[in-house]
Structure 1
Amino acid sequence: MIDNHELPIGFTMELAQHSDILNRFAALSHEEQERYIDGSREVESRQEMKNYVENMFRG
Structure 2
Amino acid sequence: MGILDRFKSHRGMQDKAKDMSDTAEKKVNEKTGNKYESQVDDAQQRAEGALGMDRDRPEQP
Q: Aligning the two structures, in what range does the TM-score lie when normalised by the shorter sequence?
A: 0.3 to 0.5
What is the TM-score when the length of structure 1 is the normalising length?
0.39
What is the TM-score when the length of structure 2 is the normalising length?
0.38
RCO higher in structure (CA 8 A, sep ≥6): 1
Structure with more helix by fraction: 2
Return the index of the structure with the highest Cα Rg.
2
